[in-house]
Amino acid sequence: MANVGEICNREVVFATRETPIITAAKLMRQHHVGTIVIVEQTELTKIVAREQTREAQGRR
């Protein structure tokens, strides 16, 4: 069985808390990922999933 290191995406896509939701959704589509990391300076503050951006835009 594979371990997570073998299947993980090493390219981290990130945004800041001020990034518009639509921009975060576009980043996910452009990079073919389902989550992005939210950072403040050099500290991780949250991870946002594609479903959360859809809900915030009133879509499912």
Contact of 35 with 28, CB cutoff 8 Å: yes
The pLDDT value given to residue 3: 80
Q: What is the pLDDT of residues 35-51, one digit of tens each?
A: 899 999 888 888 888 88
Query: Does the pLDDT value for residue 60 go beyond 70?
Result: no
Q: Where are the beta strands (DSSP E) in the chain?
A: 14-15, 35-40, 43-49
Residue 45 located in a structural domain? yes
Residue 1 located in a structural domain? no
Query: Does the pLDDT value for residue 1 go beyond 80?
Result: no
Question: How many structural domains is the chain composed of?
Answer: 1
Residue 5 located in a structural domain? no
Residue 27 located in a structural domain? yes
Range of the domain at 20: 12-56
Work out the pLDDT band at 11, boundaries 50, 70, 90.
Answer: confident
Q: What is the mean pLDDT of residues 20-31?
A: 94
CATH label of the domain that carries residue 25:
3.10.580.10
How many other CB atoms sit within 10 Å of the CB of residue 58? 6
The residue type of 17 is: R
- The Cα–Cα gap between 51 and 60 comes to 7
Spatial CB neighbours of 44, under 8 Å, sequence gap ≥ 6:
37, 38
